[in-house]
Structure 1
Amino acid sequence: MQPAAASGPTLLGVDVIWVATLLTGIATLAVIIAIYAATTVRDPMARRVKALNERREQLKAGIVASTNKRKSLINKNEAADKVRGILSTFKMIQGSQIQDIQVKLLQAGIRTKDLAFFIIFGRLILPVVLGGLAILAVYVFDSFPDWGAFKKYALVAGTLIGSYKAPDLWLKNKINKRSVAVRKGLPDALDLLVICAEAGLTVDAAFSRVARELGKAYPELGDEFGLTSIELGFLNERRQAFDNLASRVDLEAVRGVVTTMIQTEKYGTPLASALRVLSAEFRNDRMMRAEEKAARLPAIMTVPLILFILPVLFVVILGPAACSISDSMIGGG
C-alpha cells in the first residue's frame, strides 16, 4: 500500500501553499493589466477634436448648403431609417418623446440624435426577448422546480420591467457621470474665462482658449466649451449658442453661467466680475461637497473594517500563537 502524499502546511484548515499560489496569480494578472493600461493611454483630445470638427462642418453646411444637401446630411443613417420605419409601423414614434430622448443623448455626450430611435426600439425589443427567455426558463423548462409561484412570477415580472427600463437607466447613468465630470472642472474653467476676459479676448475666443487649456484635464467640459465656441462663430443668434450649452449639460451651475453670459451680452455688464463671483461660489460648493464626503467616511468604512480588515488583523496577530500551540500539542502528544 502506497503512503499518502504529504500535504502542505495549513492554517485554520486552509492549505497555505494553495492560497499563496492563488494570490500570486491574482497579483500577476493585476500587474499585467496595469502595464497594459499604462502603455495604451489614449489621448482624450483626439476624439473630442473629431467630434468638434464634425459639428463645425454641420453648421457650415447648414449655412451655405442647399436644402437638398442639408437633408442628405441629416438623413444618412440607413440603420436608423429602418428602425424608424419599424417604430412607425407599431405607431410608437411621438415627437415630444423623440425630442426628450435627443436632449438626454446630448446631455450624455452622444451627438448622434438618431440613437433616440434605437433607445425606443430597445424598450420594445428587450422585454420581448429577455422576458420571453425568462418565461421559457421558468414555466416551460421548469429551471427552478423548488421555487414557489410567487418567486417565479417575481422573476418574470422583474425581468420584463428591468429590460424595459434598461435603456433609460443606461442613458441616465451616462448623464450623471458626465455631469459630475463637468461639475469638477467648472470653477477652473470660470477662472480661466475671467483671465481671458480681463486680457481682452472676445467671448468665443475665450471659450475656445479654455477648451484647449482644459481639454486634457477635463475632456467633457472642454468638449462643451469647444462646441459652444464653434456655435458662437456660426449661429446667427449668440444667445442660441448659450441656450444650447445649458440644454446639453444637466447642471444648475451651468445654467447660472449661461444666464450670466446672456445678461452680459444683452446689457453690457462687466463679464469678469460676474464670472469671478460665480467661480468663488462654485469653489465653495465643491469644498462643501468634499467635506460632506469626508464626514460620511467613518460610517462607510465601518462595514469594510469589520468584514475585511479586522479578520486579517486577527489572523496576523493570533496566527503565529495558534501555530505554536498546535505544534506544542502535537509534540506533547
Structure 2
Amino acid sequence: MFDIITQPQNLIAMTVTLACFATALSIAMPLLAKDPLEGRMKSVALERDKLRARERAKIQADKQKAGQRVGAKKAEANSAITGLVEKLNLRTALADENTEAMLVHAGYRGSKPLFIFLALRFALPLVFLALTAIYLLFLSERTEGDTMTIGIKCLVAGAIGFYLPILVVKQKMKARQLSISQSWPDALDLSLICVESGMSIEVAFRKVASEIGAQSPPLAEELMITTAELSFLQERKHAYDNLVYRTGLESVKNVVLSLVQSEKYGTPLSVALRVLSQENRDTRMAMAEKKAAGLGPKLTVPMMICFLPVLFCVILGPAVIRTMAEFE
C-alpha cells in the first residue's frame, strides 16, 4: 500500500487533486461565507425602512386630524355664515338679480361665495363704524361740539364698509373680463387650427385651454369647464350658454351663437371660426386705435403742467438774465 502511494505517478495525481480541491475551496469560500457587514447593513436598512414607515404613518395621521379639524372649522364657519344670511334674510335685502351674475363674472361660482358676500356686506359696515367710533372717541383728541362731526365720520366709514365688497368684486370682474377679452382672439385662432386639423370642438377647446393657460388663466378655466359640460350635459347648447353667462362678454356671445347655429344646421365649423376670429382681431385693433386716438386729449394737462413750464424757462431764461444784468 505504501509502495503504491509512494509511486511518482500516484504522488503527482494526489498533488494535482489536492491542488484542484484547494483552488475550488478558495473560490467557493467567499461565496459560502456570510459577510457580517452585509448583514448589519441589511438590518440597518430594515430598521430605517421601519422608522420611515412609522414616521410616514404618524405624519399622515396628523394630516388627517388637521384636515378633519380644518374641515370641521370650515363647515362650522360656512354653517354660521349660511345661518346668518338665512336668519336675517340678507339675500332679499342686499342681493338682486345682478349680484349672483356679478360674482360669477368675477370667478366666484356657487352659493357659498354669495353667502360670504352678503355676510361681508352686513358685517363690514358695523365693523368699520365701530372701529371709527372707538378711534374718534377714545384714541384721538377731540374738542367739545364734535359730536356731529364724529357721527358723520362714523356714517361715512359705515358706507365705505357697505360698498367695499361691491367695489372689490367689480374690480375683480373687470380684470377677469379684460384678461378673457384680450386672449379670446388668440383662442379662436388656435381653435380654428385645431378644427381644420380634424379635431372636434371638445378636443380643440381642451388643447386651446392647455396652450392659452399661461396667457390667460381665467379663459383656460372657462374653456375646460365648457369642455366638461359639452361631454356631460344632454343639450350642448346649455354648455355654450353657460360659457356666455360665466364670462358676460359680447364677443364670446357672438362666437357661441355661431357655434350653436353651426351645429344646428350642419354648416362647416371652420368657416364660422375663421370669420369670427377675423372679426375679433379687427375689434381688438379698433380698440387699440381708439385708445391711441384718445391719448392726445389726455396728454394736454400733463404737458401744460410738466412740459410747458420747463420750455418757458429754457426760452425766456436767457432773456430774463440779460435784462436783469443790464438793470444792475
Percent identical pairs in the alignment equals 35
Report what 1:208 is aligned to: 206
- Determine the C-alpha separation between the residues in 2 that align with 1:153 and 1:286: 49
Report what 1:226 is aligned to: 224
- 1:164 partner amino acid: F
Contact residue 127 and residue 160 of structure 1 kept, 8 A: yes
Question: Is the alpha carbon distance of 1:295 and 1:168 closer, same or farther for their aligned partners in structure 2, counting shifts above 3 Å?
Answer: same
1:1-333 matched pairs, under 5 angstroms: 77-94=75-92, 97=95, 101-111=99-109, 113-137=111-135, 145=143, 154-309=152-307
RMSD: 3.8
Report what 1:17 is aligned to: none
- 1:220 partner amino acid: P
Report what 1:29 is aligned to: none
Question: Is the alpha carbon distance of 1:154 and 1:309 closer, same or farther for their aligned partners in structure 2, counting shifts above 3 Å?
Answer: farther
- Determine the C-alpha separation between the residues in 2 that align with 1:285 and 1:221: 18
- Determine the C-alpha separation between the residues in 2 that align with 1:117 and 1:177: 23
User: Counterpart of 2:198 in 1: which secondary structure?
Assistant: coil
> How far off its partner does 1:230 sit?
2.0
Name structure 1 gaps, 5 residues minimum: 1-72, 329-333
Report what 1:10 is aligned to: none
Name structure 2 gaps, 5 residues minimum: 1-70
User: Counterpart of 1:114 in 2: which secondary structure?
Assistant: helix
> How far off its partner does 1:157 sit?
3.4
- 2:188 partner amino acid: L
User: Which structure is larger by alpha-carbon Rg, 1 or 2?
Assistant: 2
- Determine the C-alpha separation between the residues in 1 that align with 2:139 and 2:307: 44
Contact residue 98 and residue 116 of structure 1 kept, 8 A: no
- Determine the C-alpha separation between the residues in 2 that align with 1:104 and 1:171: 7
- Determine the C-alpha separation between the residues in 1 that align with 2:83 and 2:300: 54
- 2:202 partner amino acid: D
Report what 2:48 is aligned to: none
- 2:268 partner amino acid: P
> How far off its partner does 1:142 sit?
7.2
Question: Is the alpha carbon distance of 1:256 and 1:178 closer, same or farther for their aligned partners in structure 2, counting shifts above 3 Å?
Answer: same
Q: Tell me the TM-score normalised to structure 1 length.
A: 0.64
> How far off its partner does 1:108 sit?
1.0
- Determine the C-alpha separation between the residues in 1 that align with 2:151 and 2:94: 34
How many residues matched? 256
- Determine the C-alpha separation between the residues in 2 that align with 1:95 and 1:127: 15
- 1:90 partner amino acid: L
Report which stretch shifted further, 173-182 or 219-228.
219-228
Higher helix content, 1 or 2 = 2
